Amino acid sequence: MTTWVVSPQLLVAQAVTAALTSAGARVELRAWETVVEDAQASKDRSGTQHVVAVFDDLDSLTVVEEVRRLVSVGDVRVAVVVQGPVALWWGKLLEGSAVDLVTTTTSITQLVEVVDRLTAGDLLMEPEKRIAVRTAWLRALDNRRQLIAQMRTLTPQQLRVLELLAAGHRSGEVADVLGVTVATVRSHVKALRAKLGAKTQLEAVAMLRGVYEFDDGPDLVPRPRQSLPGTEGSNRRR
């Protein structure tokens, strides 16, 4: 059976496909944008579809979700080729055996072996590595749930101030956006830090980012609206 090669970056997928083909691997280039639909269309015409998904510095929650959609078709196994250390968010897909992770330090010769082992039905990750990534992911989710509970203690205005600070705005810019004084912004920051148990503003910002770092589940604190300084400047200062 032919293994599909996909990537959000077409040139990367083309290069990997060409190299693997030259090395004798039976692979075929597929478009990242249609791979899920392609898998659905071919499901009843063949056995397990094998896919090598290459992410060149583009692995993120967005691509994790797309790979999740791909394996949810059924009868699909994916070798995810990532750059450098494995990101925690891949742990979301490692509960079963449909997804394996390989680093981009792997040579073309090694990738040929990956294709061979993938089509043979072998697992590509050491069990200990799979468990370690999965465990780190679950710990991150537990930490996130705690952060969500803390964020829900904030008032809408305090959450709005924190989100604008996390977006890189300074206190004066936040004041302009909200139509309040800088003193009011500082008062909100002091109050929200106390509620979150954050020693500094930077720590409070890091806590908010931690809420959105790994997932967008149904228990997520509603993300405040974003706006640039001046878009709400007509609000009266108070």
* Domain range enclosing 218: 141-238
Q: Are residues 7 and 121 in the same domain?
A: yes
Q: Which of 82, 43, 37 is nearest to 64 (CA)?
A: 82
Among 125, 155, 188, the domain boundary falls at 125
Paired residues of 79 in beta bridges: 52, 100
Q: Are residues 49 and 11 in the same domain?
A: yes
Among 125, 152, 178, the domain boundary falls at 125
Q: Is the pTM of this model over 0.85?
A: no
Given a cut of 50, whether residue 152 has pLDDT beyond it is: yes
Q: Is 136 inside a domain boundary? A: no
- Tens digit of pLDDT for each residue in 72-91? 999 999 999 987 777 788 88
Are residues 136 and 91 in contact, defined by beta-carbon separation less than 8 angstroms? yes
Q: Are residues 100 and 168 in the same domain?
A: no
Backbone φ, ψ for residue 182 (5° rounding):
-60, -35
Query: Domain count of the chain?
Result: 2
b/e for 59-79, b at 16 or more Cβ within 10 A?
A: beeebbebbeebbebeebbbb
Q: Are residues 118 and 157 in the same domain?
A: no
CA dihedral 159, 176, 167, 68 (to 10 degrees): 60
Given a cut of 90, whether residue 238 has pLDDT beyond it is: no
- Higher-confidence residue of 87 and 193: namely 193
Are residues 51 and 27 in contact, defined by beta-carbon separation less than 8 angstroms? no
pLDDT tier, 231 (very low <50, low <70, confident <90, very high otherwise) = very low
Are residues 182 and 237 in contact, defined by beta-carbon separation less than 8 angstroms? no
Q: Are residues 116 and 147 in the same domain?
A: no
pLDDT tier, 230 (very low <50, low <70, confident <90, very high otherwise) = very low
Q: Are residues 101 and 176 in the same domain?
A: no
Q: Is 135 inside a domain boundary? A: no
- Tens digit of pLDDT for each residue in 155-170? 999 999 999 999 899 9
Q: Are residues 21 and 116 in the same domain?
A: yes
Q: Is 132 inside a domain boundary? A: no
Q: Is 134 inside a domain boundary? A: no
User: What is the average pLDDT across 91-120?
Assistant: 90
Structure token pair of residue 53: 């998904």
Given a cut of 80, whether residue 217 has pLDDT beyond it is: no
Q: Is 133 inside a domain boundary? A: no
Among 78, 95, 125, the domain boundary falls at 125
What is the model's pLDDT at position 50? 95
pLDDT tier, 104 (very low <50, low <70, confident <90, very high otherwise) = confident
- Higher-confidence residue of 213 and 26: namely 26
Are residues 2 and 17 in contact, defined by beta-carbon separation less than 8 angstroms? no
Given a cut of 80, whether residue 121 has pLDDT beyond it is: yes
Given a cut of 60, whether residue 154 has pLDDT beyond it is: yes
Backbone φ, ψ for residue 42 (5° rounding):
-95, 0
Structure token pair of residue 229: 């300084």
- Tens digit of pLDDT for each residue in 176-192? 999 999 999 999 999 99
Q: Are residues 82 and 191 in the same domain?
A: no
- Higher-confidence residue of 83 and 6: namely 6
Q: What Å distances lie between residue 104 and 4, 57, 61, CA to CA?
A: 17, 10, 19
What is the model's pLDDT at position 232? 42
Q: Is 104 inside a domain boundary? A: yes
Q: Are residues 73 and 153 in the same domain?
A: no
Q: Is 22 inside a domain boundary? A: yes
Backbone φ, ψ for residue 79 (5° rounding):
-100, 110
Q: If you average pLDDT over every residue of the chain, what do you get? A: 86
Backbone φ, ψ for residue 231 (5° rounding):
-75, -20
Backbone φ, ψ for residue 196 (5° rounding):
-85, -15
80: domain CATH number?
3.40.50.2300
Q: Are residues 55 and 96 in the same domain?
A: yes
Q: Are residues 14 and 109 in the same domain?
A: yes
Q: Are residues 171 and 229 in the same domain?
A: yes
155: domain CATH number?
1.10.10.10
Are residues 211 and 147 in contact, defined by beta-carbon separation less than 8 angstroms? yes
